[in-house]
């Protein structure tokens, strides 16, 4: 992709397939759906509480071993190519860095 779009610096992306695989791992999607099933969008305090609980569930859920290996391998190649640790950016929580 870099050669076609002339992008710099090098990097890698996590695919939608990997996201779905993570969400299916250990019933994560079901746990989140259960939390949201009784949620009232009119209650801001409840929204904030459930949002935090869902964030905690996601953070505490281990990444599937094969997915973890793939990400760490891609990251190690990036570090080896450019030396040292590299930065990452996620649009998942705050699109556009907002």
- How do residues 73-87 score in pLDDT, each as one tens digit? 988 888 888 777 666
Q: How confident is the model at residue 55 (pLDDT cuts 50, 70, 90)?
A: very high
| Chain segment 4-51, per-residue pLDDT in tens | 665 556 777 788 999 999 999 899 999 999 999 988 889 999 999 999
Longest dimension (CA), the chain: 50
Q: What is the pLDDT of residue 98?
A: 44
Instruction: Say if CB 47 and CB 39 are below 8 A apart.
Output: yes
Q: Indicate the pTM of the whole model.
A: 0.64
């Amino acid at each position: 992709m870099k050669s076609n779009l002339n992008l710099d610096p090098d990097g890698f992306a996590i695919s939608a397939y990997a996201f779905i695989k993570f969400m299916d791992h250990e019933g994560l999607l079901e746990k989140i759906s259960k939390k949201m099933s009784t949620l009232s969008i009119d209650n801001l305090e409840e929204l904030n509480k459930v949002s935090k609980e869902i964030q905690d569930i996601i953070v505490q859920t281990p990444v599937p071993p094969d997915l973890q290996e793939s990400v760490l391998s891609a990251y190690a190649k990036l570090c080896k190519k450019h030396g040292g640790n590299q930065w990452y950016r996620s649009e998942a929580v705050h699109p556009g860095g907002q």
